Amino acid sequence: MSLFAELKKMTLYEISGTLPNFQEAYSTVLSKMFDGKEILGIASPDNFGLPIRELVLKMCCLKEEKISSNPEIQKANERSKRVKSQDVDQVDIADIISTVSTYTGYLYKDINDMTLFQLYMTYHRIARFKQYDTSTLFATVSPEAGKNIVNWDKHIDLLRKEKHYISRDKFMNETKGFSKGS
């Protein structure tokens, strides 16, 4: 039987304890995330899988991409994701760090001490302040623009799940010309 077939039968906890490379990698990552504490030694089959994995994802501001078991739906999701990524200017970590440094005056060494969560929240809050400033400026020029003032203190959800679909009602409202007879 192949190693892959054997691994498929095991839990993540069993794999991390069996394979030295996995054990070392998990130990290193978890130690860095938990301020040098040896977490792997106190992990159990009950808390190692999803709870620790979800915590690591949240701490690193990562979202798990859901894969559909239906190949047609998965293909449509991938197409939607590809189209959405073409519409947006790509911002990389260097852009985020330089923005936070420029706007806040933090030195790069200070930013290096931030967690990813702190860095991303600061970056997105800066963007929200800039949107607020722009919308209030336009409101002084046009009364219509005053209706679109962006709240600078609105909640920022870094872990918001992407939707690759719209509801039927929203589709019908946005297409306006469709009727049941079409």
Q: Where are the domains of the chain?
A: 3-59, 89-175
Is the pTM value of this prediction over 0.95? Answer: no
Q: According to the model, what pLDDT value does residue 177 have?
A: 57
Mean pLDDT of the chain: 79
Write 34-42 long-range contacts (CB < 8 A, 24+): 40/16
Q: According to the model, what pLDDT value does residue 164 have?
A: 58
Distance CA 79, CA 94 (A): 28
Q: According to the model, what pLDDT value does residue 154 have?
A: 85
Residue 27 buriedness (CB in 10 A; 0-12 / 13-18 / 19+):
middle
Distance CA 122, CA 124 (A): 6
Q: According to the model, what pLDDT value does residue 95 have?
A: 93
pLDDT-flagged residues of the chain (< 70): 1, 36, 40, 49, 84-88, 146, 162-167, 177-182
Q: How many helices (H) and strands (E) does the chain have?
A: 10, 0
